Amino acid sequence: MYHVTHLDNLEAIVAAGALLADEKLDERPEVDISAPTTREHRRAVHVRSGMSVATFVPFFLSADAALWADLRGERVLPHWSPRARETAASQYVLLVGSLSSAPVLSDGDASHVLTRFAEGDALVRTLARLLVEEPALRSAEALVPERFPLEHIATIGVASVAARTRVKTLFKGIDASPRVAVYPPWFSPVAATS
């Protein structure tokens, strides 16, 4: 599973020792990539009683997730903040973790009111269905409640050697030691489709 964030946000993530859910943040990220309306929708949609989508750390199930592809492409959906629309894909990192850490899956954009959520045995069935329905897989999300510790990050994908050096410097002297890999295909522009 893949969490996309701007490289400038990584210092605060490392300082917190974890990726934090939107509702657990004391202050907005350095580069807040979600539009305010997206955050409002995520606060309004409930996964289960008393827990909105905003109480979970979101992950894509694919490194080529639809929203990430849109941000890398020629058209940018309203999910993204004006600041995000001014950035280049090479300024982002993909934090990669194991799907076993996510107790909830959505079958689409978790901020959409028609999206269904799966837990327990239903999660396995939902994942099996998503794996054969590629367009659905590209929209689905894995949700981790409240925080995702740095120690659970297996790999950090970056666009360049310079970004890898910067990320490795941030992780010096802490217990978490994810592999930092330069993998340009994850950051390549995507042509808009009609």
The residues that are catalytic are 42, 141
Check whether 25 is labelled as a binding-site residue: no
Is 31 annotated for ligand binding? Answer: no
Q: Which two tokens stand for residue 149?
A: 């510790």
User: Exposure pattern of 24-56 as b/e (b: 16+ CB <10 Å)?
Assistant: beeeebebbbbbeebbebbeebebeeebbbbbb
- Residue 5 among known ligand-binding residues: yes
Cα 6 to Cα 187: distance, rounded to the nearest angstrom: 12
165 has binding-site annotation:
no
- In one-letter notation, the amino acid at residue 22 is D
Best CA proximity match to 54, nearest among 35, 41, 67, 68: 41
Which residue positions form the known binding site? 3-5, 20, 42
Which residue positions form the known binding site for NAD(+)? 3-5, 20, 42
